[in-house]
Amino acid sequence: MKFISHLFSFLVLTGLAGACGVALLVADITGDLPDYRELADWEPAVMTRVYAYNGALLAEYARERRLFLPIEAVPDRVRHAFLSAEDKGFYSHSGIELSGLASAVWANMANFGSGQRMIGGSTITQQVAKNLLLSSDRTLARKIREAVLSVRIERAFSKDEILELYFNDVYFGLGAYGIAEAALTYFDKPVGELSVAEAAYLAALPKGPNNYNPDLNAKRAIERRNWVIGQMLRNGFLDGGEARAAAAMPLGTKKRPPNLLVADANYFTEAVRRQVSEQYGEAALYTAGLAVRTTLDPALQAAAVKALRRGLVNYDQGRGFRGAVTRIAADGDWRQALDSIVPLADVPEWRLAVVLGTTEHVVEIGLRQGPGNRPEREIAHISGKSMRWALKRAGSAKTGKALAGVVAPGDVIYVEKQDDGYVLRQVPEVQGALVSMDAHTGRVLASVGGFSFAQSEFNRATQAYRQPGSAFKPFVYAAALDTGYTPAALVMDEPIALPDGAGRIWKPKNYDGRFSGPSTLRTGLEKSRNLMTVRLARHVGMDVVAQYGQSFGIYDKLKPYLPMSLGAGETTLMRLVSAYAVIANGGKSVQPSMIDRVQDRHGKTIFRHDGRDCDACNAEEWRDQPEPVLEDDREYVLDPMTAYQVTSMMRGVVERGTATSVSALGVPVAGKTGTTNDEKDVWFVGFTPNIVTGVFLGYDTPKPMGYGESGGGLAAPVFIDFMKIALKGKPVAEFPVPEGMTFESVDRRTGRRVAAGSPGSVREAFKPGTSPCVADCPVIDGFETSDIVTSTIPAVGGISPVLRDKLLDSTGGLY
C-alpha cells in the first residue's frame, strides 16, 4: 500500500515537474511573440493598376501581383472549396485542430531521423499566423509559437476577418498572390464568376502550386481538383449531381494574354508611371494598390500611333534603303538563327524575314515565327514593284535597277503583310512625336513619343527639347494684338542687317528669300514672314514677347533676344500643345494632365485633376433644387478677343498659308507650321474648338531633313491622318465669338476697309475702339535707320559667344 502511495506521489510530482517544464519551455519559446493585433492594420502589398479613361487596362506595377478582395465579395462556393481543401472545421475550432495536430505529430515522430520535412496539419488560422507573423521554418518551436498565436488571433478577430486575411495573402503560383489575382491569372475572370470546378482547382493550389501547374502537371492538377470536389461533397457543400458534373469538367485554365488590353500606349504609361512614382514614391507605386485612371482615349491613341508611324516611314523610305538588319546563313536550317533575333515587340505587324533568293522581279523570303503566327514555317515573296523605294540607296542619289542590288540571300529584313502580299520595311532613323489634348481641360487624349518604345524609351513628346521655329510666332502676334495692333495693321517686310556687337552681322530672312514690303499681320502669320515677326517683336518689345512665352508655359525662362521671336528657344511638344490650347479655348489657362484621378486600395480618391469643389453635388436627395453648376475658376492667360483674333489668323494659315493641305478636313481648323534652320525640326500644331493636336518630326541628333522639307509637308499630313479619326462622327462647331467683337471687310494686302465680298478681302475681327484704316495706313517698321546701319542688336549683345552663335544661326528657314 505504501508502495502504491509512493508511486502515485512520484508520478504526480513528475507530472507537475513535467508540466512546469513544458510551461517554462512554452513561455520561453513564446516570450517574444509578435503582436497579433497588428493584423488589424495589415495591408498586403497590392499591385497598382493604370487604366484608360474608359476603364481599359493599360499597365500593372507590383512586387507581388495581388488585388485585395473583401471577404464579402467571395461567394460561398469558393469559400466551401477552400474550407474543404484546407480546414473543414474552420468555423468550429478555436485556432488549432487537435485531431489534425495529433496526426501531424504522430507522422513527424514516425519520420524522425529520416530526413523528411515535418508536416504541419495547420488550420487556416495557423497558416495566417505563420505567413503574416512568423517564419516558414519547419521546427517544433515555430509550431508551438504558431499554435499560441492562432488561439490569440481567434480571440481577437472574427472568422470572416481571418478568412479575409488568408484569401488575400496565400500564394497560388505563376506570380499570383491572393484569390482575386489567382482567378484572373488562371481563368481570366473575377472571383464572383468562378464555377465550382474552377474554385476547387484554385483551392488545390496552395498546398503546392508547382505540383499542380496546369501546363506541367495537368493530370495531377485534375486529380487534386477532383479530390477537393469530393471533400466538398463529403462536407455537404455539393450534392452528388453537382460533384459529378464538376469532376467531369476539363481543367479549363485560360491565362490572361500577356499583351495589355490597350496596345501602343507604352510612352504614355511610362510617363504616368514616372509621375505616380515622383508623387507617391516608388514603394507606393509597387505595393500600395493604387488605381490610376488616366485621360487616355484608346481609340485616339491607336490612331495617333498609326498616323505618326506612317509619317515617319514615308519620310524614311523617301531617303532610300539602308540595308539589312543583320545577316545569317540562308542555306540549311536558317529558321533557328532567324527565330533567335528579337523583333520590335510593339510593332507586331512587322515581321522579321530572311532573304532566301532574288530574281529580277521577286524576292523570296523565309518568315520568323512568333506569338500569333501560324505554327508552320512559311515561305513568302516580295514583289519588285513594292520595293521600288528601296532601289535608291540611303545617302546616294543613284537609283539601282536590280533587286539583287538591294538585298541578298542571308539578309534579315522587316516585312509587313498587306492585301497584295508582303512589302519591305525598315525601322526609320528619323523620330517624332504626337500629342492630342482637350482644349478646355488639358486632358491628354493621346501621346506618342517615338516610332517604337521597344526601340527607344526616350519620349520625344515630353523629354525632347527642340526649337519650335515658326510654331512660336502666334504668341508674338498675340503680344502685338494685346498691345494695340489689329490683324489689319501693316508691318514692313524688308531685309534687316544688324551687327551683333562682336563683328558679325545678323541677317534674318524669309524662307523663300523674298520680301513683300508693307503687309498685314494676317499675311505675316499666314505666310510665316520672319522679317515681319522680328520687326513686330522689336516694336512690341522682346521683354514682352519673352513674358508671353513664359505665361503660356512654353518656356520656364526665355531670354529677351530677338532671334527667340523666330522660335530659337527650346521647348517640348507637350508644352507647346498646351500653350495652343489656351488660344483654342478662348484664353484660359491650361494645365496638361495625363491622370484624371488616383484612388487608394480602399477606393478613396487621393488625387483629382479637376480640383473644383461642388458641395451641391453631394446632396442626399433631390428636392426640386437646380442642378449643381461647376464654376470655371481658371485664370485668363490671354484676352478672349485676342485669342479669337489669333485663331482667325491661324485659320488663314490653313486656308491660304503654309498648311493648306489641312483644309481637306473640311471643318473649322486653325494651326501653324514650324520649320527650323536647315530643316532640322518640323512641326504642325492645329486645333478645332475642342481638341488640340501637335506633331513634331526630327532626328534625335539634329541634322537637316532635306532641302524643301517643312512642317506643312511632313508634320501636317500626320496631323490630318490623326484628326480624320479624332473628328469622325463628331460635329465641329465654329469657334465662339467673344461678346463685343466687331467685324469689317478688309483688303488682305493693304489692310484697308473695303466693301464686303470684294476680291482679295477677308472678314476681319476687331476689338472695341479699333477699326481698319480707310487710306494711308501707317506702317510699323520696328527699326530706325540708325539701328540698321550702326547699332548693335540690344537683345543679342552682351551674351556668351556660344549662345550668340546659336541665336545668330537663326537667319532663316523658320516658317
- DSSP per-residue string spanning 707-740: TT--IIIIIHHHHHHHHHHHTTT---PPPPPPTT
Q: Which one is catalytic: 84, 122, 452, 470?
A: 470
The answer to whether 267 and 461 have CB atoms below 8 angstroms apart is: yes
542 membership: H or E segment, kind and range: helix 542-551
Please give the Cα distance from 341 to 96 (Å, whole number): 56
Distance CA 125, CA 148 (A): 11
Q: How would you write 292-355 as a 3-class SS string?
A: EEECCCHHHHHHHHHHHHHHHHHHHHHCCECCCCEECCCCCCHHHHHHCCCCCCCCCCEEEEEE
CB atoms within 10 A of CB 482: 18
Angle between helices 196-204 and 76-86 (to 10 degrees): 40
DSSP E strands in 502-649: the ranges are 505-506, 517-520, 595-599, 605-608
> In this structure, what DSSP letter does residue 552 have?
T
Q: Please confirm, yes or no, whether 360 is among the known catalytic residues.
A: no
Q: How far apart are CA 32 and CA 35, in angstroms?
A: 9
Q: Which residues contact 785 (CB under 8 A, 6 or more apart)?
A: none
Three cell numbers, residue 555: 518656356
Cα separation, 327 vs 331, whole angstroms = 12
**What residue ranges in 609-729 does DSSP mark as E strands?**
670-675, 681-687, 691-698
Cell of 658: 503654309
Please say whether the beta carbons of 319 and 338 come within 8 A: no
d(CA 694, CA 532): 25
Residue 86 a catalytic site member: yes
CB 702 within 8 A of CB 680: yes
Q: What would the DSSP string read from start to end of 127-196?
A: HHHHHHHS----SHHHHHHHHHHHHHHHHHS-HHHHHHHHHHH-EEETTEESHHHHHHHHHSS-GGG--H
DSSP annotation string for 742-799: EEEEEETTT-BB--TT-TTEEEEEE-TT---BSSS--EE-SS-HHHHHT---TTTTTS
Alpha carbons 72 and 115: distance in angstroms, whole number: 43
Place of cell 475702339: 769
**Residue of 84, 86, 447, 679 marked active site:** 86
Q: Give the active site residues.
A: 86, 470
